[in-house]
Chains A and B, each alone.
Chain A
Amino acid sequence: MGLFSFGNMILRSLFNKPATLMYPVIPRVYDEKTRGHIDINIEACIFCGICSKKCPTHAILVERKQKEWAIARMQCIQCNCCVEACPVKCLSMANTYTTPSTEKVTDTFAQAPAAAKPAATVEAAPATAVVEPTV
């Protein structure tokens, strides 16, 4: 007749541990490939602006003169286009999500101003200016 066909599953779920996680008390373990948010290694950035052009939602703003790179966290759709397009590979996708908040968050990263160029050596080596950003 099929009156108690669900009985087995119900009995098992009485004795198994719950399928849900007591989030946020117990934090969630994210997979390593989860697309959470974009991280940048600002020291390596050359401010070419390719990531900003490729972004489909215009979430990235690159200021070349002030050496600033800003991302509107709530506008980003974690599509990974900027990571793939960056020529120096300074962008990466981290696997935790942006914290929800009540206002739109923009994160700005600035590269510290460059150190003074080292003086040309006496051996007349070609004077390549090495710009070393201070940590």
Chain B
Amino acid sequence: MGKRTIIPFGPQHPVLPEPIHLDLVMEDEVVVEAIPSIGFIHRGLEKLVEIKEFTEYVYVAERICGICSFMHGMGYCQSVEHGMELTIPRRAEYLRTIWAELSRIHSHLLWLGLLADGFGFESLFMHSWRLREKILDIFEATTGGRVIFSVCKIGGVRRDVTNETLQSIVKTLADMEAEVKELTDVFINDYTVKSRTVGVGVMTKQEAHDLGAVGPMGRASGLVQDMRLLGYAAYNDLDFAPIVETAGDSYARTVVRIREIFQSIDLIRQAVAKIPDGEVAVAFKDVPKTECFERLEQPRGEVIYYTKGIGTKFLERVRVRTPTFANIPPLLHCLKGCDLADVPILILTIDPCISCTER
């Protein structure tokens, strides 16, 4: 029986992209328990709904997070639109889907870079982010912004994209696909990457279900849950299947995210082939009067948007439950029994987006 010490991890740590604090209870070099402490980035964004009108709140919702920014705006707009029973044009739904899948690709490439940086493989980190720049250039050419797009609004989208631009997006992605395959083969086959991720942080399917794991974290343990199957936006026209692995360790989570990049490229190809012509926004006059729960699949998992309107132009309540918030209990479970050197890798495998978590 070794001596127990408590090591504080974070909030400032070179490997963490955002501040989170964990108190690790250690016995010699093995972690026995972890107690989380969050709240360093709590900005109270949900309370801003009392002073921002519901059409202006889109800009606040987008800025909850920088990486999943588009899907936050889209989730908020969808939730209010369903509450008002407003149908938006089909072309707008397809455009939102295309931007959402591009968001997913760039988020996963960013995560791959952070994971490589987490175990010190800096050149792999740089190459992942270099490939991600091509996606950011696509965003800038179509929406005007690289990180925060401001392109969703209640009633549709604010900008149209010409069909030639859409074809050129598909061509850029096809050219990029070969290089992304080369990069991801390193993650899947390289000896150093495998020795840091295989067998680390194993979570069985039953544990993942009880702890409420969402997104790639849950799918890597065998849970088949993907909110895109609900058929929101244009997903009911597209043909795909959730990507599931069964090993449940960090290597499986890496493989799930890599396969999702290729699945997203294929989904964009399908969406561009099927996109109809037409308007991109619909005008409306009334205000939200009811509540609505809306679920989306962000790159990190399942996000829930709850909006409640009471008939004025200010909503009464907006509640965002982000996927990282749901993945903290699985993280605490995975940390039990691991070495101290594995702690940064495990924190990175849940894809922590702490600014989403604390809004």
Q: In the bound complex, what is the Cα–Cα distance between A10 and B133 (angstroms)?
A: 18
Q: How far is the CA of A84 from the CA of B157 in the complex (A)?
A: 13
Q: Are A5 and B185 in contact (CB under 8 A)?
A: yes
Interface residues, chain B, with chain A CB atoms under 8 Å away: 52, 56, 59, 123-124, 127, 130, 133, 137, 140-145, 148, 150, 158-159, 182-183, 185-186, 189-191, 194
Contacts A19-B133, A33-B141 given; indicate if A80 touches B158 (C-beta within 8 A): yes
Q: List 5 A-B contacts (CB under 8 A).
A: A2-B194, A31-B137, A31-B144, A33-B140, A33-B144
Chain A residues bordering chain B, tally (CB within 8 A):
22
> Once bound together, how far apart are the Cα atoms of A35 and B148, in whole Å?
11
Nearest neighbor of A2 in chain B, beta-carbon distance: B189
Contacts of A2 in B (CB 8 A): 189-191, 194
B127 contacts which chain A residues (CB < 8 A)?
A: 9, 13
Contact yes or no, A5 B150, CB < 8 A = no
Q: Does the CB pair B190–A5 fall under 8 Å?
A: yes
Also in contact, A6 and B144, with CB within 8 A (given A56-B59, A77-B59): no
Is A79's CB within 8 Å of the partner chain B?
yes
- B157 CB to nearest chain A CB (Å): 12
Asked if residues A33 and B130 are in contact (CB atoms below 8 Å), the reply is no
Is the CB–CB distance between B123 and A6 below 8 Å?
yes
> From residue A36, how far is it (CB to closest CB) to chain B in Å?
9
Least Cβ distance of B287 to chain A in Å? 17
Q: Is the CB of B150 within 8 A of A10?
A: no
A52 to chain B, nearest CB (A): 14
User: Are B124 and A6 within 8 A (Cβ)?
Assistant: yes
A35 to B52, CA, bound (A): 23
Chain A residues lying within 8 Å of B133, measured Cβ to Cβ, are 19
Contact between A56 and B52, CB atoms less than 8 A apart: yes
Q: Is A115 an interface residue (CB 8 A)?
A: no
Of B145, B182, B186, which contacts A78 at CB under 8 A? Answer: B145
Q: How far is the CB of B56 from chain A (nearest CB, A)?
A: 4
Is the C-beta of A8 less than 8 angstroms from some C-beta in chain B? yes
The verdict on A34 contacting chain B, using a C-beta distance below 8 Å, is yes
Q: How far is the CB of A68 from chain B (nearest CB, A)?
A: 25
Query: In the complex, what residue of chain A is closest to B189 when comparing beta carbons?
Result: A2
Are A9 and B142 neighbours in the complex by a CB distance under 8 Å?
A: no
Give Cα A84 to B150, complex, Å.
13
Q: Mark A1-31, 1 if CB is under 8 A from B, else 0.
A: 1110110111001000001000000000001
CB < 8 Å: which of B52, B142, B148, B182 contacts A33?
B142
Contact of A1 among B137, B142, B158, B191 (CB under 8 A): B191
The residue in chain B whose Cβ has the minimal distance to the Cβ of A10 is B123
Is A6 a contact partner of B141 (Cβ separation < 8 A)?
no
A80 x B150 contact (CB < 8 A):
yes
Which residues in window 54-100 of A have CB below 8 A to B?
Answer: 56-57, 77-80, 84, 93
Please measure, in the bound complex, the distance between the C-alpha atom of A1 and the C-alpha atom of B189, giving whole angstroms.
Answer: 8
Q: Is the CB of A78 within 8 A of B140?
A: no
Q: Are A34 and B144 in contact (CB under 8 A)?
A: yes
A57 and B124 alpha carbons, distance in the complex (Å)? 40
Q: How far is the CA of A94 from the CA of B145 in the complex (A)?
A: 13
- List 12 additional A-B contacts (Cβ < 8 Å) besides A2-B190, A9-B186, A78-B150: A6-B124, A8-B182, A9-B127, A10-B123, A19-B130, A19-B133, A31-B140, A31-B144, A33-B144, A78-B145, A80-B144, A93-B144
CA distance A79 to B159 in the complex (A): 12
